[in-house]
Structure 1
Amino acid sequence: MADITGKYSLESSENFDEYMQSIGVGFLKRKAASALSTAVVDITKTGPDAYVLKTTTTLKTTELPFVLNKEVPETTIDGREVKALFTLDGNILKQKQTGADGFESTIDREFTPTGLIATLYHKNVTAVRKYKKV
């Protein structure tokens, strides 16, 4: 099992506004999120299969405790209520979000020796965010 713990700083983001629009984030929240030049993801291990995923931006900080292969409630950084299921497949942490009205989104975080690449999927929209390990 890959070591996914660490602190990661956002370096680049492609198609993120389109992804946020696809998942239903309003115009003002999308513009605020797009203007952020800093975002830090910090993953800590708290038990055998238990972790905390902390995301820090200049506007907001969220913490999501999770256990691999167990669904947990999640309030997304933009305030949506969803269920999240995390699985670890080699060096890829998969997060599947499900919500009301059949909402479904997937975030694959691929861990490399120097950082992580987060690929976000919703319907026919894909965004890629690259982070450097700090």
Structure 2
Amino acid sequence: MVEKFVGTWKMISSENFDDYMKAIGVGFAIRQVGNRTKPNLIVTVDEQGTVSMKTQSTFKTSEIKFKLNEPFEETTADDRKTRTVISLENGKLVQKQSWDGKETSIEREVTDGKLIARCIMGDVVAVRTYVREA
């Protein structure tokens, strides 16, 4: 099921991301950079079933490697230290991050050839849309 996410994805739009970053506690300066950045998302899977998600931009590149449903420690692009678990739920890749008593989730799904990432913190939802690079 993860196979449909594999590839290089280029961001084409980002809605409400500033409000989402505010909701998770990102400071003003990093939010300014985050709002201007249009990262590529590169997803690969190795023979052992380890998934790699690399977010690549001119500002910063970050990468996480994980196995589905196995919790791991993540240092996010904005330097939060989270306990993260990623699972497949109804065809969506759902990433749940928890830190300091807070929790956020990022739901990624492939629809009509686009990868839609919904970043959810409480009632704040940001939607980031990617298309597959040829």
TM-score normalised according to structure 2 size? 0.93
- Within-5 A mapping of 1:113-132: 113-132=112-131
Report the equivalent of 2:64. 64
- The question of whether the paired residues in 2 share the 8 Å contact of 1:41 and 1:55 is answered with yes
Report the equivalent of 2:35. 34
Q: Secondary structure at the match of 1:119?
A: strand
Report the equivalent of 1:11. 12
- The question of whether the paired residues in 2 share the 8 Å contact of 1:76 and 1:82 is answered with yes
Report the equivalent of 1:96. 96
**Offset of 1:48 from its aligned partner?**
4.4
Q: Secondary structure at the match of 2:35?
A: helix
**Offset of 1:90 from its aligned partner?**
3.9
Aligned pair count?
132
Q: Secondary structure at the match of 1:58?
A: coil
**Offset of 1:73 from its aligned partner?**
0.7
Q: Secondary structure at the match of 1:7?
A: strand
Q: 2:76 matched to 1:110?
A: no
| C-alpha RMSD over aligned residues | 1.2
Letter in 1 for 2:129: K
- The question of whether the paired residues in 2 share the 8 Å contact of 1:91 and 1:112 is answered with no
User: Which sections of structure 1, spanning at least 5 residues, go unmatched?
Assistant: none
Question: Over residues 43-78 of structure 1, what are the superposed CA-to-partner deviations in whole Å (9 max), with x where a residue is unaligned?
Answer: 100234320010011110001000000001111001
Q: Equivalent pairs: percent with the same residue? A: 38
- Moved >3 Å (runs of 4+): none
